[in-house]
């Protein structure tokens, strides 16, 4: 089935079948073993990928740049604001031209609801090379694939009966995208996890993502519930994933969303809340975590935290996606 993925876009995990996601996880584990043991794996010699960013990045940019280098290829970093896109160049022209120069296009466009996913899919419509979503307004499929890989490394492949709590948490820094929690509820419901989503009333997720999560849960025979109490979400959880996100209707007025969020400063992942979860529960976060707001140092630096294992797996999963599609 590996050959069937050549040239396939990776814009949402929902676009790939369960079997294709399994192949990506299998390839990720293989590449991780090779990387750890110094085994050369130049599967993409002389291949070029264009990394187009509309937002800042640490893990995503560096995992893709390091990853393509280790696979024998090369990455071109393109900042949208310093390219002709800033002057209005169309997605059609960008997609046609960049795909004629190389072998893949990866895009991060995540801050404005209704824009990023639409833009990425329009690029993909015109590009004749695979397009990879490095995070949009709807999904962060590179992050959630690494999350699933990490969960399986800890709990095994059979996750049925395990619970993940995906919770909003307070952060004063900026109105963060909704794509990580949306990606989590869409993907984890497919692979055996019971999912509890927690958020204050104002911080609802996109209805399209909620609909997919409900459908996936029903098909997989798992639970998907929504609560407005962080403590309730953490109770008996095996995995807790608390992070901040903004208000869909206020992304063009982020200061208003941040003002509303101040009412919920007590939505923090601390030692008391971790004690509500199962004794062997793990704390996860896509990073960067807003320390002392989203999470206390005692938790993120504590024995239940797996954030660095999770972050490392971003390298191996993005390499797998590139190796399989390019």
CATH code (residue 214): 3.40.50.1370
Residue 219 pLDDT exceeds 80: yes
Q: How many structural domains compose the chain?
A: 2
Average pLDDT in the 104-125 region? 97
pLDDT at 125: 98
Angstrom CA distances, 146 to 26, 73, 221, 238, 318, stand at 12, 22, 23, 17, 8
273 pLDDT exceeds 90? yes
Cα dihedral 133, 9, 68, 66 in deg (nearest 10): 20
Predicted pLDDT of residue 2: 76
Give the whole-angstrom CA distance, residue 284 versus residue 188.
14
Residues 207 and 302 reside in one and the same domain:
yes
pLDDT tens track for 15-72: 999 999 999 999 999 999 999 999 999 999 999 999 999 999 999 999 999 999 999 9
Q: Which residues contact 190 (CB under 8 A, 6 or more apart)?
A: 13, 18, 21, 216, 219, 220
Residue 261: how many other CB atoms lie within 10 Å: 24
Answer yes or no: do 71 and 114 share one domain: yes
Average pLDDT value over all residues in the chain = 97
Confidence (pLDDT) at 13:
98
User: Residue 24's domain spans which residues?
Assistant: 2-140+314-325
Share of the chain above pLDDT 90, in %: 98
* Whether residue 202 has pLDDT greater than 80: yes
In this structure, the answer to whether residues 20 and 125 fall within a common structural domain is yes
pLDDT surpassing 90 at residue 195: yes
pLDDT band at 3 (very low <50, low <70, confident <90, very high): confident
Same domain, 265 and 147: yes
Judge if 54 and 95 occupy the same domain. Answer: yes
Q: Are residues 262 and 242 in the same domain?
A: yes
pLDDT at 10 over 80: yes
**What angle is formed at CA 24 by the lines to CA 307 and CA 209, rounded to 5 degrees?**
70
User: Are 212 and 255 in the same domain?
Assistant: yes
Output the pTM of the full model.
Answer: 0.97
DSSP for 187-226, written as a single string: HHTTTT-EEEEE--TT-PPPHHHHHHHHHHHHHHT--EEE
| Residue 1 reports pLDDT greater than 80 | no
**Tens-digit pLDDT profile for residues 283-319:** 999 999 999 999 999 999 999 999 999 999 999 999 9
Residues 291 and 161 placed together within one structural domain of the fold: yes
Convert the pLDDT of each residue in 93-106 to its tens digit.
Answer: 999 999 999 999 99
């Amino acid at each position: 089935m590996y050959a069937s993925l050549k040239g396939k876009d990776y814009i949402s995990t929902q676009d790939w079948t369960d079997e294709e996601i399994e192949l990506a996880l299998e390839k990720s584990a293989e590449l991780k073993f090779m990387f750890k043991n110094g085994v050369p794996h130049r599967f993409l010699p002389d291949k070029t990928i264009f990394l187009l960013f509309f937002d800042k990045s640490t893990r995503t940019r560096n995992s893709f740049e390091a990853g393509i280098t280790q696979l024998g290829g090369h990455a071109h970093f393109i900042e949208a604001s310093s390219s002709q896109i800033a002057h209005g160049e169309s997605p059609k022209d960008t997609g046609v031209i960049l795909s004629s120069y190389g072998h893949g296009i990866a895009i991060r466009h995540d801050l404005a609801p209704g824009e990023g996913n639409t833009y990425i899919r329009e690029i993909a419509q015109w590009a004749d090379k695979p397009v990879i979503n490095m995070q949009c307004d709807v999904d962060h499929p590179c992050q959630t694939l690494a999350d699933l890989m990490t969960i399986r490394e800890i709990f095994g492949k059979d996750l049925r009966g395990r619970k993940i709590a995906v919770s909003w948490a307070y952060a004063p820094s900026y109105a963060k995208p909704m794509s990580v929690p949306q990606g989590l509820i869409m993907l984890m419901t497919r692979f055996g996890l019971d999912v509890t989503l927690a958020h204050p009333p104002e911080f609802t997720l996109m209805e399209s993502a909620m609909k997919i999560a409900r459908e996936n849960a029903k098909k997989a025979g798992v639970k998907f519930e929504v609560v407005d109490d962080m403590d309730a979400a953490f109770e008996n959880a095996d995995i807790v994933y608390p992070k901040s996100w903004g208000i869909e209707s206020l992304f063009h007025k982020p200061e208003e969303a941040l003002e509303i969020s101040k009412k919920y400063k007590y939505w923090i992942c601390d030692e008391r809340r971790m004690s509500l979860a199962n004794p062997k529960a793990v704390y996860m976060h896509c990073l960067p975590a807003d320390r002392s707001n989203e999470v206390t140092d005692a938790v993120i630096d504590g024995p239940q935290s797996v954030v660095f294992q999770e972050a490392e797996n971003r390298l191996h999963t993005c390499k797998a996606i590139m190796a399989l599609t390019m």
